[in-house]
Amino acid sequence: MDTANQPVSSVATTQVPAADKYAGMHVHLVGIGGSGMRALAEMLLVRHAVVSGSDMAQSGTTERLAEKGAVVSIGQRAQNIPDDCAMVIYSAAIHDQNPELVEARKRGVKVLKYSQMLGELMSDHVGIAIAGTHGKSTTTAMAAFALTQAGLDPSFVVGATVEQLGGPSGVGAGRHFVAEACEFDRSFLNLHAQIAVILNIEEDHLDCYQDLAAIVEAFKAFTMLVKPDGVVIANGEDRNAAAAARSAACEVQTFGLTEKCTWRAANITSDRGRYRFQVLLGGKKFCKIAMAIPGLHNLYNGLAATAILHNAGVPAEKIGELIGHFTGARRRMTLKAQLGGITVLDDYAHHPTEIQVTLRAIREYFQPGRLICVFQPHQHSRTRFLLKDFARSFAMADEVIVPDIFFVRDSAMEKDHISSRDLVAQIRLNGGSAMYLSRFDEIVQHLRGQLKPGDLVVTMGAGNIWEVADELVHWIGSASQGK
């Protein structure tokens, strides 16, 4: 038998029930505007649930959910919980003493975390859960796009908007459910996937993990949830990912560039950072891929997606073509504008490794005369724990501008331990050019006074730093029209 054209495991043949138990059920989502929560809301609406929710501020997301039939309240208060509410779901950003959670528990309403609800939705399908410190959104979106284009009609939840998929989530009639599996608060332990992926493991979320060893232990527990007839797909060059995968009771496949890996990239070439390569399975030719999105890190994401698709039953002759047609997720090196010789990008990178590989990919693909990075640190605790790594990650940037840290999840006391000024000082100690400008309007004003043709500005961070990119695009557009 030619193994290059057959699934390596039996997971692609699993059957799932067709009944929909959520039709008519009133579900309330606390923090409905978050990337994962909005995806759940959309999935529940398609399943004919009665959906309501709340968020602290109105946004394009809350408006779109309202247009689709959700009742969205701005501000969070006990009276937002409907009288006939059967279930309340809350995001990881919601504090345990949130008035809506307190009211729901007081009434005896079933309360679930986002990840628990995601696990319930996945349990009716062939679950594909994609974990790792970096690359989850891109790889999840890539796999969901290819499965959709292959006609397998999956359900999916991505932690980012994907234009090629029509949004961050979708409900399909097929067997597969593709979802990001986040390690924060060990939430991915609520998922029981049949195809589980570990892209990489590094230090992060040290506000809820003691150290890297504890993170690896959580990933080990994640792999142990995969049934014996499932498969774990792990980065064979990442020592921590390989260690976690060894705990699995099922088949383990690895990916990477070395000969020891089950899935290997060979004959690699690059065109301005967009990689072309031959995929080998067990040392034999499987397919060829030409990535549309730049960066060596996306070669690895493409390898992982290849393994996912093969185990999901997509023919080898389709996989390379479909992955090559994937153009990326929003806020992943997203081109906002190229006007007047100035390029503006926006990116979600908020971890040192992500910053480093993204800046390198930007250099390779856009080849700017000057690269200016506007980086908004995300969480005081993350900035403090990884300060020296952050400082070293900006080597590819000619100038770094740092506003105040985006405050989320940390205690008010954490603010006293670290500030953006500390990061700027460390970047300078590492030989970089960096400056602190606390407010977005100050940053825009500063850039307006110095940008010239050949410059590239990238806004980076998991907070609202994209607003700076939008303001710059508006200014450059007005200037180019002589306004």
- CATH number of the domain enclosing 291: 3.40.1190.10
**Average pLDDT score, the chain:** 91
How buried is residue 152: exposed, middle or buried, by Cβ count under 10 Å (0-12/13-18/19+)? buried
285 and 342 housed in the same domain: no
Residues in the chain: 483
196 and 284 housed in the same domain: yes
136 and 260 housed in the same domain: yes
Q: How many domains does the chain have?
A: 3
Range of the domain at 42: 26-112
184 and 272 housed in the same domain: yes
306 and 345 housed in the same domain: no
Q: Is residue 17 a part of any domain in this protein?
A: no
Question: How far out from the chain centre does Cα 88 lie?
Answer: 24
Question: In the predicted model, what is the mean pLDDT of residues 273-292?
Answer: 97
Output the pLDDT for position 416. 80
The predicted model scores a pTM of: 0.88
30 and 144 housed in the same domain: no
CATH number at residue 475: 3.90.190.20
40 and 148 housed in the same domain: no
278 and 381 housed in the same domain: no
CATH number at residue 58: 3.40.50.720
Last residue of a domain, one of 57, 81, 112: 112
399 and 368 housed in the same domain: yes
475 and 393 housed in the same domain: yes
Among 52, 201, 67, residue whose Cα is nearest residue 134: 201
- Among 37-51, 156-170, 468-482, which stretch is predicted with the lowest mean pLDDT? 468-482
Q: Is residue 21 a part of any domain in this protein?
A: no
Last residue of a domain, one of 303, 324, 345: 324
Output the pLDDT for position 245. 96
Q: Is residue 161 a part of any domain in this protein?
A: yes
Question: Residues 166-190: pLDDT tens digits?
Answer: 888 888 889 999 999 988 889 899 9
Question: Residues 408-450: pLDDT tens digits?
Answer: 877 777 788 899 999 999 999 999 999 999 999 999 999 999 9
185 and 265 housed in the same domain: yes
CA distances to 137, 338, 476 from 481, rounded to whole Å, are 36, 14, 9
429 and 346 housed in the same domain: yes
Q: Is residue 162 a part of any domain in this protein?
A: yes
Q: Is residue 380 a part of any domain in this protein?
A: yes
